Amino acid sequence: MTVISPPDFSAARFTAAPDARFVAAPADGVLPEGFFSTTNLPTYVKVGGRWLAPHMPRMDAGLFLDDRGELWAREGRLLNAGDMVAVGVAEDASEGIYVDSQAMNEGEVAAGEFRFMSSEVSREKPIDYSLMARVLLDERDRGGYIIWVTGPALVHSRARADMVWFIENGFVSALLAGNAVAVHDIESAIFDTTLGMTNAGLASTGGHGLHMRAINKVRAAGSIAAAVEQGIVRNGIMHACVRHDLPFVLCGSIRDDGPLPDVITDALEAQDAMRAHTARATMAIFLATALHAIATGNMLPSFSTDADGNMRSLPTICVDSSEFVVSKLKDRGTHQAFGVVTNAQDFMQILRLHVEREIAARARNVASSGIGELAGSSQ
């Protein structure tokens, strides 16, 4: 993991820089003319002679200074008339705003570290699953917040059991998805099909309507959690989320069937619900979903900050069978994303295999270390 050191604010360029200028928002949901538009890189604003980093950083937002002197990255739609918003276009500190575009390249890098930002997208590029597994295991063991953003191919590709394994073993802190992921997972739990297709890939009689029957059963129960408690949904991804009290956000779309009662159909409400998790994220995995990956990427900074104020790079993995999706994500500003061009089933099974190997290797190291200590104390 790259540790990101803040700039040396005692340097002349920072001490000589003016305080940032703030202008009142002219109306509810409207940013003032000339507002500074944020990126997902570490950003600092000079306020009262001090350089501050905004809370809840993200791209495509304004910089809002509240009445207590706290700085926030906030979407324009959430501002009220009179809120004080930073204005300026320069990112070099000359207007009191500094974007540290070199932070990710100049951080303290451990030997052999997986460099997410340095990778080009290519179907032919080798994937270091072992290193990816170590990063994932390290995040879990240090209490990181790992968000997974998934598409329905996760279920169709028969990677459902692997996703359940990652949930049950503590590698998922929040699941962000759409109606389809939950619908197809629940259809599989109830009817052992996805969109009417059996595990053998064969069409089933009346299969075209099974996803609607699954939706109807959950709607009758009142919620996904209620369907689990009533024994309607007995296995799968959503079952594991409920049983392990794992938060999930299901975002609606105009093409949704049903939808399930837990789906948030208001797009802005769904965005706010997702934002609550992206603001806490220390690692993100986007799996087989173009729209949800780009949407989440737009809310995600390229770094995370721990309780002690230390900044680290935020590992972001985007998995899709198409190079276009990964490239599009990076083109839209999530430049730290590491692209894995493969199908969901292969990725999940191989990653799980390497995580299990890493867990076993660490257990052996602990055991051998204990034996060594015991032998030393007996001499």
| Cα–Cα dist 84/94, whole Å | 20
Token pair listed for 102: 């070199």
pTM as predicted: 0.90
Residue 196, pLDDT above cutoff 70: yes
User: What is the pLDDT, as a whole number, of residue 208?
Assistant: 80
Q: What angle do CA 240, 244, 248 make, to 5 degrees?
A: 70
Residue 8, pLDDT above cutoff 90: yes
| Cα–Cα dist 174/246, whole Å | 6
Residue pair 63/85 in contact (Cβ under 8 Å)? The answer is yes
| Cα–Cα dist 306/309, whole Å | 5
User: What is the pLDDT, as a whole number, of residue 135?
Assistant: 95
User: What is the pLDDT, as a whole number, of residue 108?
Assistant: 42
CB atoms within 10 A of CB 378: 6
Mean pLDDT of 103-118: 48
Residue 372, pLDDT above cutoff 70: no
Q: How many residues in the chain?
A: 379
Residue-wise pLDDT for 136-172, tens only, equals 999 999 999 999 999 999 998 789 999 999 999 999 9
| Cα–Cα dist 328/347, whole Å | 20
Token pair listed for 353: 């295999």
**Tokens 């099909």 belong to which residue?**
193
Most confident of 12-26, 108-122, 358-372: 12-26
Look up residue 167 and give its amino acid.
Answer: I
User: What is the pLDDT, as a whole number, of residue 53?
Assistant: 96
Residue-wise pLDDT for 12-39, tens only, equals 999 999 999 999 999 999 999 999 999 9
User: What is the pLDDT, as a whole number, of residue 123?
Assistant: 63
Q: How confident is the model at residue 378 (pLDDT cuts 50, 70, 90)?
A: low
Q: Name the least confident of 48-52, 335-339, 342-346.
A: 335-339
| Cα–Cα dist 35/116, whole Å | 31
Residue-wise pLDDT for 308-320, tens only, equals 888 999 999 999 9
**Tokens 């940032």 belong to which residue?**
20
Token pair listed for 330: 């990076």
Residue-wise pLDDT for 48-92, tens only, equals 999 999 999 999 999 999 999 999 999 999 999 999 999 999 999
